[in-house]
Structure 1
Amino acid sequence: MKESRLFGLLYTILERKRVTAKELAEKFEVSIRTIYRDLDALSASGIPVYTQKGRTGGIAIAEEFVLSKSLLTVDEREQILSSLHGLSAAGKGDEDQLLTKLSALFRLKQTKWIEIDFSFWQKDQAYDSLFQDIKEAILDKKILAFTYFSSREEESRRRVKPIRLLFKGQDWYLYAYCLLRKDFRYFKLSRIRQLKTENIQFEEDFGDFRLKTELPQQDTIAVCLKFDRNQAFRVYDELGQLVSEDQAGNLYATVHLPADYNLYQYIFSFGEGVEVLKPESVRHQVKEMIEKMAEKYKS
């Protein structure tokens, strides 16, 4: 208990720069006399704690002190803190407390030049729970079992050895060794259902595993699209510099889309606000699909 309080004292003084014995006593719910005994213990261990009397006085640590002096360079420390900021913004763990401690220990005051938020606009507790369960399985080296829906419209039951969680593009993925396919695979978290953590630990240590951040290449088709002006908000959001405009205000873009159901799902997501110009095969397929949909609404 005393060791924990000593570290707490150290972190608090480093973070606040200067603090009174009374404030420390109230924070740690001990007497002022106990605080002074703890400060003597810190001083005896080589930490340059000192007190300054007067109106602006208090307990402080010598400015030149950084815990263990750290073998990290300033750039490396800033990179660590930036990474922790990103994890903290994702809302996926207890990184905030660690971030505060490291900021104090490194004596770095970061300028937050970017804000990252991986969370959904609509709070999804089930998704957060899925993320946490996968994270714990990775740390505990436990096998996961789940139902997976692939982009090939296949449903399968998988058992995997989880390795990493990866955020790529706009989605979270689990990278794992699949016991069914006998190979490493990516699994999109949004397509995972009925996740269960088995009480079976695997022996392999994937701690130093070099993750291949390039997802498997899909066959794609270059599709030339014409968008109505009222779709500009979304077209510019998603396609950016690929977009050109004619004098009438119509928007044009050539995009490379997966050669599977995702292609038509993307096109139809624009409703009547898009037209496929080429290739002719895709244009013809879209026309056939529209006719089949129209048949369903004739009655």
Structure 2
Amino acid sequence: MEQGRLFKIVYHLLDKGRATAPELAEKFEVSVRTIYRDLDAISAAGIPIYTVQGKGGGIFILPEFVLEKSLLTPQEKEQILMALRGLAAVENSRTDELLTKLGGLFRVQGANWIEVDFSDWHKNTAGAELFDELKRAVFSCRRVSFSYFAGEGGGTVRTVEPVKLIFKSKDWYLYGFCLLRNDYRFFKLTRIKNLTLLPETFLRRKADVPELKPTIQQERLISVRLKFSPAAAFRVYDEFTDTVEKDAQGSLYVTVNMPERTLYSYILSYGDAVEILEPDELRRSVKEKLTRMAEKYKT
């Protein structure tokens, strides 16, 4: 227990920069006298601790001091390298040199466990460039300006203070404070055009960032019962995973809540491989749409 407390005191001082003996005593639930004994033990171990008396004083560790690599467990070393691999997966700049240095320092070969490819099958690299520019804006606290095309159609020019990049439901989003709406908003990256990093910076305080909403966009959901032909099985299993039922003829059945805004376009994307079973109102509505579509192809 005492050895664990010594390490925690060192980590605390490295993290906070300074502390007083009463603060440490309260944090670790021991007496001030015990803290001073701990500090003597830490100093005897070769860690350069010094104290400053008076206002603004306290207990410090020399800023040149770094923890020995032996203080990290093998699991912690592996986790650090895996985290860097995750960062490298969405980096345009190379992190191979840093990974090589830390791998040599830790004597651990980090597993290349993740890969993210922003390009589509047509090798469009615009998504990666947009992501990289927004990431730079987040890190440097720079405002960005872009044209944004909302789901209802039409574009607006937005100036945004970017907070973070979020991956949700197969898409990347920018979360930030929109000066046009005077509120925090989500922006789907595929709808952002003509991005410009502005020279103005902004001060991001923790208190300024509200708790993230549980979903990217609150939409009215409709419970739908669908029947798919066996020919669509590859796509059905991709998109509905373990919610699929199958009958003796190989037809597939799914009951799912779907957003009203994209419901028709999604169902029609299956062509004649899908049939709406429920609700009746939606079934009639799609039938009417198909009738109007057929009218367009009479000649």
Asked if Structure 1 and Structure 2 have the same fold, meaning a TM-score greater than 0.5 normalized by the shorter chain, the answer is yes
* Gaps in structure 2 of 5+ consecutive residues: 1-65
Which residue of the partner structure matches residue 109 of structure 2? 109
Superposed counterparts of 1:1-299, under 5 Å: 68-69=68-69, 72-112=72-112, 114-120=113-119, 121-153=121-153, 155-205=155-205, 212=212, 214-216=214-216, 217-260=218-261, 262-299=262-299
CA shift at 1:75, angstroms? Answer: 3.5
String of CA shifts for 1:76-116, please: whole Å, max 9, x gaps.
4333322222232345332332222222223323345x443
Amino acid at match of 1:161: E
**Pair 277,153 (structure 1): closer, same or farther in 2 beyond 3 Å:** farther
Deviation at 1:143, TM superposition (A): 1.0
Structure 1 position 213, deviation (Å) = 7.0
**Contact 1:143-1:159 at 8 Å conserved across structures:** yes
Deviation string, structure 1 residues 137-180 (Cα, Å, up to 9, x no partner): 11221111112122344532211101111222311111111112
Whether the 8 Å contact between 1:176 and 1:185 is mirrored in structure 2 is: yes
> What is the count of residue pairs matched by the alignment?
232
Q: Aligned partners of 1:264, 1:214: CA distance in 2, in Å?
A: 25
Whole-angstrom CA distance in 1 between matches of 2:288 and 2:99 = 56
CA spacing shift, 1:269–1:71, aligned 2, 3 Å: farther
* Preserved contact between residue 137 and residue 197 of structure 2 (Cα < 8 Å): yes
Give the % identical residues. Answer: 44
Q: 1:147 to 1:208 in 2, by over 3 A?
A: closer
Task: Report the CA distance shift for 1:210/1:95 in structure 2 as closer, same or farther (over 3 A).
Answer: farther
What's the secondary structure of 1:173's corresponding residue? strand
Please state how far the C-alpha of 1:205 moved relative to its aligned partner: 4.3
TM-score by length of 2: 0.69
SS at match of 1:92: coil
Assess, with a 3 A threshold, how the Cα gap between structure 1 residues 125 and 211 changes in structure 2: closer, same or farther.
farther
Amino acid at match of 2:239: E
2-structure distance, mates of 1:123, 1:226: 34
Once the two structures are superposed, residues 219-268 of structure 1 have per-residue CA deviations (whole angstroms, 9 ceiling, x without a partner) of 211111111110011111111111111111111101211121x1111111
Q: What TM-score, normalized by structure 1, do the two folds share?
A: 0.69
1:164 aligned partner, one-letter code: K
Tell me which moved more, 98-107 or 130-139. 98-107
Alignment CA distance shift 1:183-1:298 (3 Å) = same
Residue type matched to 2:144 in 1?
Answer: L
Instruction: Give the secondary structure class of the aligned counterpart of 2:69.
Output: coil
Does the 8 Å CA contact 1:163/1:206 hold for their aligned counterparts?
A: no
Work out the CA distance in 1 between the residues paired with 2:151 and 2:69: 51
SS at match of 1:181: coil
Deviation of residue 271 (structure 1)?
1.1
Cα deviation for residue 207 of structure 1 reads: 11
Q: Is the 8 A contact 1:186 1:215 kept in 2?
A: no
Judging changes above 3 Å, is the alpha-carbon distance between structure 1 residues 118 and 171 closer, same or farther for their aligned structure 2 residues? farther
- Which residue identity is paired with 1:284? R
In structure 1, list runs of 5 or more residues that go unmatched: 1-65
Distance 1:218 1:193, change over 3 A: same
Counterpart Cα distance in 2 of 1:206 and 1:97: 32
Task: Answer yes or no: is the 8 Å Cα contact 2:118–2:127 preserved in 1.
Answer: no
Q: Cα distance 1:100–1:206, how it changes in 2: closer, same or farther (>3 A)?
A: farther
SS in 2 for 1:93: coil
State how far apart, in whole Å, the 2-side matches of 1:250 and 1:178 are.
47
CA distance in 1, matches of 2:156, 2:70: 49
Answer whether contact 1:229 1:249 (CA < 8 A) is retained: yes
Q: Match for residue 10 of structure 2? A: none
**For the structure 1 residues 140 and 69, does the alpha-carbon distance in structure 2 shift closer, same or farther, using more than 3 Å as the test?**
same
Per the TM alignment, residue 73 of structure 1 is displaced from its structure 2 partner at its CA by 4.4
Larger displacement relative to structure 2 (126-135 or 270-279):
126-135
